[in-house]
Structure 1
Amino acid sequence: MLYPEIEPYHTGFLDITNNHRMHFQLAGNPNGLPVLFLHGGPGAGLPPGFARFFDPNVFNIIGCDQRGCGLSSPQNQLQHNTTAHLISDLHSLRAHLKVDKWTVFGGSWGTTLGLLLAIDDPTTVQALILRGTFLSRERDIEWFLGPNGGAAKLFPDQYSRFIEPIQAAQSVTELCQKFIMLFNCDNELKRTQAVKAWYQWEERISRLSMPNNYSTFSNTPLTTMANIAILECHYLANNCFITENFILDNIQKIAHIPGIIIHGRYDTVCSIDQSYELHKRWENSELNIIPSAGHSTSEPGISSALIQASRQVAKYLK
């Protein structure tokens, strides 16, 4: 069961490079174990209830909106918005908060960023809790977006709806180029249709079981959909601004850091082989495969495993 909803004890904005401004929140125990919550996407923004995976008496829970999304500004700004910029921003946030070391907690794109952050400076990360690993290799992007990818083959009906605004694409590169053109076109209706199609694709395939009447789409602000669609497309079109297989090639740099990897057996957004390969290469990791779950944090098996992982880390660090 998730911990009760709590209000942040501090909300702030940090001026970072290139005229970007990062929104952040602190919740729980100001003197507790620092834990950084990294949202997915890119562009998903800090979700409501992000602190509910952690005991508020034990953890000092830190969350932020990455460049261009959520309450950070400017919105949907692609200039000076790369993975290297995001890592630099997180180092700046840690320094601003006077945190020497923290536990890093991330899901999906948040796993990519968390692993890269730890690889960039292993001395600042005490432990990692990762859900739905995304290694950002070409094959991983192809699985999620490609016309011959795993997700398209498992959900051909939903994939047809996804690419309807662009009609067809023979590759991930072509798909992203066509969506980028629509995101930037002068026709508001076409822009909106493209944004919704991109956002709804991931939503429709994220859960193992999707009720027939399920729809978060009407409740999700268009600005949030646009953050995810525009920033996610920007990053995936550029292979997330990292070289192929960078994470696995550099995993020995964090071999000593304990990590808990959680992955739904039937995750169709981020294929489970990514967590399996990561675990095999990472000496101090453990892999927890959730039998009846997909990609979403909202699935009971996933959320329970994340809470158990945070308790395990707290016990280890005390």
Structure 2
Amino acid sequence: MSRGTAIEAFATQWLDTPDGQQIYLEQSGNPNGIPVIYCHGGPGGGSSPFHRQLFDAALYHIIIFDQRGCGLSRPALQLNNNSTQHLIADMEMIRQHLQIPNWVVAGGSWGSTLALAYGQTYPQYCLGFILRGIFLGREQDIDWLYRAGFGASQVFPDYYQDFLQPITHLVHLDVLQAYQLQLHHQDEAIRLEAALAWSIWESRIATLMPNEFSWGGEMDAQSALALALIEHHYFMHQCFFEPNQLLDNLHKISHLPCNIVHGRYDMICKAENAFSLASRWPDAQLHWVLDAGHSASETGIAKALYQASRAMADRLQTQARTAV
């Protein structure tokens, strides 16, 4: 099947977690193909039917889920029992439920973070990794996107000024602390204003060329609330990581193959993230997309991810034939 062809899910369901949440899970592609689980971005971004198209449906058994509190998972906007460790446990629950011995772990942006964290927890169940827009969950990565004087705010000062608008009266506080007050304010209108500003800031700078949000496009309130509340929750807790955790524990998975796709002009996840990861991973292939920013929907990114999935499938199939 060629890239860009619509792919329908052949199974959808909700899995109950031990703590009472329900995780949306869907399957598409070839049920006898190479299993791949895809981790969406955010955190709080939710999955999309578009994510199915990043894989060759003839070669892959495509498994996609919505992380806690977002997408079709329930309850919506749930922050309790919502941490990286909970999401890793959910992924392992999915693997056991589907009775999959091992799988390729894929993800973009925050999804790359979660994919790496899962892999370092359960390397024995991983065949390899397909990662896009690398985010390593370090304080410097959060600084780059949200704090003045670092990265994105220097490239897009006008958009950043709009991002700060809901917290201009809280200039004495750190930006994340100020947003904590607004996103959890008792006034619903204030909560929504903050969520929209937070989410639109990220959306505006996600592509190399101006997108609809650059020109004042409107954003769905529920999507904005999920993205802002859950992202803020994770970043206030340093993604529930120890400092430099993912790079320090890379030895647990660096014997496995990894295909990395990163936009050269990614303003959300800086290029250094991908370079540092690939430099420490002997079996990683880093592909720079020279005409793209961060978003998987950009043509160059989507094409490179599809090609990366084909390359991973070729490698795994060759290994399987050699082992026989």
Q: Secondary structure at the match of 1:152?
A: helix
Q: Identical aligned pairs, as a percentage? A: 40
TM-score (norm 1): 0.95
Moved over 4 A (4+): 168-171, 211-217
In structure 2, what is the equivalent of residue 178 of structure 1?
Answer: 178
Instruction: Assess if the C-alpha contact under 8 Å between 1:3 and 1:54 holds in 2.
Output: no
Counterpart of 1:294 in structure 2: which amino acid? Answer: G
Query: Cα deviations across residues 66-88 of structure 1 (Å, max 9, x unaligned)?
Result: 01111111111111111111101
- On the 8 A contact 2:200/2:213 being kept in 1, the answer is no
Flag structure 1 segments of 5+ consecutive residues without an equivalent. none
Query: For residue 117 of structure 1, what is the aligned residue in structure 2?
Result: 118
CA distance in 2, matches of 1:224, 1:144: 19
CA distance in 2, matches of 1:209, 1:65: 28
Look up the equivalent residue of 1:47 and give its one-letter code.
Answer: S
Q: Deviation digits for residues 101-151 of structure 1, max 9, x if unmatched?
A: 111111000010000111111111101011110001111110011112200
Please, what TM-score do these two structures have when normalized by structure 2?
A: 0.94
In structure 2, what is the Cα distance between the partners aligned to 1:216 and 1:197? 12
Q: Distance in 2 between matches of 1:311 and 1:90?
A: 23
> CA shift at 1:213, angstroms?
7.8
Deviation at 1:168, TM superposition (A): 6.3
Cα RMSD, aligned residues only: 1.7
**Compared CA separation, residues 35 and 215, structure 1 to 2 (3 A):** farther
Whole-angstrom distance in 2 between the partners of 1:169 and 1:265? 34
AA aligned opposite 2:279: K
> CA separation of 1:277/1:30 partners in 2, compared to 1, >3 Å: closer, same or farther?
same
CA contact (8 A) 2:45 2:226 kept: yes
After superposition, the C-alpha distances for 1:220-260 in whole angstroms (9 at most, x for unaligned) are 42111111000000001111000110011010111111001
Q: Distance in 2 between matches of 1:231 and 1:211?
A: 24
User: Which residue does the alignment assign to 2:163?
Assistant: 162
Instruction: Measure, in 2, the Cα distance between the counterparts of 1:102 and 1:6.
Output: 20
Distance 1:101 1:216 in 2: 44
Is the CA contact 2:203–2:213 (under 8 Å) kept in the aligned structure 1? no
Count residues with an aligned counterpart. Answer: 316
Aligned partners of 2:69 and 2:75 also within 8 Å: yes
State the one-letter code of the partner of 1:251: L
The Cα of 1:52 is off from its aligned counterpart by 0.5
**Cα distance in structure 1, aligned partners of 2:97 and 2:217:** 36
CA-CA distance at 1:154 after TM superposition? 0.5
Indicate the residue corresponding to 1:223 in structure 2.
222
**1:14 equivalent in alignment to 2:15:** yes
C-alpha distance 169-293 of structure 1, shift in aligned 2 (>3 A): farther
Question: What is the CA–CA distance in structure 2 between the aligned matches of 1:26 and 1:77, rounded to whole Å?
Answer: 24
Matches within 5 A, 1:1-318: 2-167=3-168, 174-211=174-211, 217-218=217-218, 220-318=219-317
